[in-house]
Amino acid sequence: MLDPSPPTNVRWPEFAHVVFDCDSTLSAVEGIDVLAEGLGLEAEVAALTDAAMAGEIDLSDIYGARLEMLRPTEQAVAGLRAAYKRHIVEDAREVVAALREIGIAVYVVSGGLVEPVVEFAVHLGIDRANVRGVQARYDELSGEWWRSDQASEKTFVGFEAGALTRSDGKPEVIRELLGDARGLTMLVGDGASDQRAADTVDLFVGFGGVARRERVAEHAPVYITASSLAPVLPIAAGPGGQLRLTSPDAVQVFERGVAFLEQGDVTFHDQQKRETLLAALGQRDTQP
């Protein structure tokens, strides 16, 4: 158990913004893998992804290659929306709700296709304006539309290249999204692009696919080995934010997150930071 009477001068910073990746972070699936499975191209896409994770191919080089290989139809993209919702990470919705309850702004910055990512984020209670992704482009004049009362499904013709289609582009998008907003920012993600954005934020927390990606786990200042996002709440709230929890559901998620911290399901590469957080949490009062 935590020391019930830690030093009163021990303080953990409260965060004002939490930015989530989407694939393997808020949803347990990788969208590109879902699209590949539907077309029987899992092996080909996996080979490209593995090469990028090994540093053999830059993400900016494989992004277009993967989409061009798959050329996802609108029906396939609709299937991806459903897959995100079916594989929601444990308590993701509750964690997002609790963060917003205590005044922490929540964002999603993803290299996934923006339409499914936006729909999933809204499903979790995240504002549409706080989501960024990659826009696919479809040819409105394709198919047999002129010969039928009902137009054929549009054909994928490409995507809008930008910062999120580059392995080093996520910092640029995060800066644009936050603008001149004040307060500390936490990024929660699992991939190389998240790792490269670590210097843009005040704390990078690895979660999700990070368990399978040692290269990311080894460099994340903090990473969650539990299958739950609950630890994000006490890490983000700090001793000031936690006192503003009012709903019983939020308190329950908060305490579950603290339990994961106590049990060692969250790894801190800086042990002093871990001790500071645990000591600060010992002062908590989360009664609704």
pLDDT tens digit string along 132-159? Answer: 999 998 886 655 555 555 555 678 888 8
Confidence (pTM):
0.89
Residue 145 belongs to some domain of the structure? no
- pLDDT over 50 at 2, yes or no: no
Whether 106 maps to a domain, the answer reads yes
Report the CATH number that the domain containing residue 232 is assigned in CATH.
Answer: 3.40.50.1000
How many independent structural domains does the chain possess? Answer: 1
pLDDT digits over 92-106, tens only? 999 999 999 999 999
Beta strands in 21-151 (DSSP E): 105-113, 131-134, 136-139
In a domain, 147, yes or no: no
**pLDDT value at position 209?**
76
Six-digit token string for 140? 């409105």
At 232, the pLDDT band (50, 70, 90 cuts) reads: very high
The answer to the question of residue 48 being in a domain is no
- CA separation, residue 119 to residues 2, 22, 110, 138, 149 (Å): 40, 11, 13, 19, 29
Total number of residues shown for the chain: 288
* DSSP bridge pairs for 155: 139
Q: Which of 70-79, 108-117, 212-221, 244-253 has the highest mean pLDDT?
A: 108-117
Residue 201 lies in a domain: yes
Structural domain containing residue 199: 15-29+88-138+166-281
59 found inside a domain? no
Report if residue 237 sits inside a domain.
yes
DSSP string, 240-260: HHGGG--SHHHHHHHHHHHHH
Beta bridge partners of 222: 205, 268
| Residues 162-171 pLDDT 10s | 899 887 889 9
Q: Where do runs of H (alpha helix) occur along 153-231?
A: 170-178, 192-196, 214-217
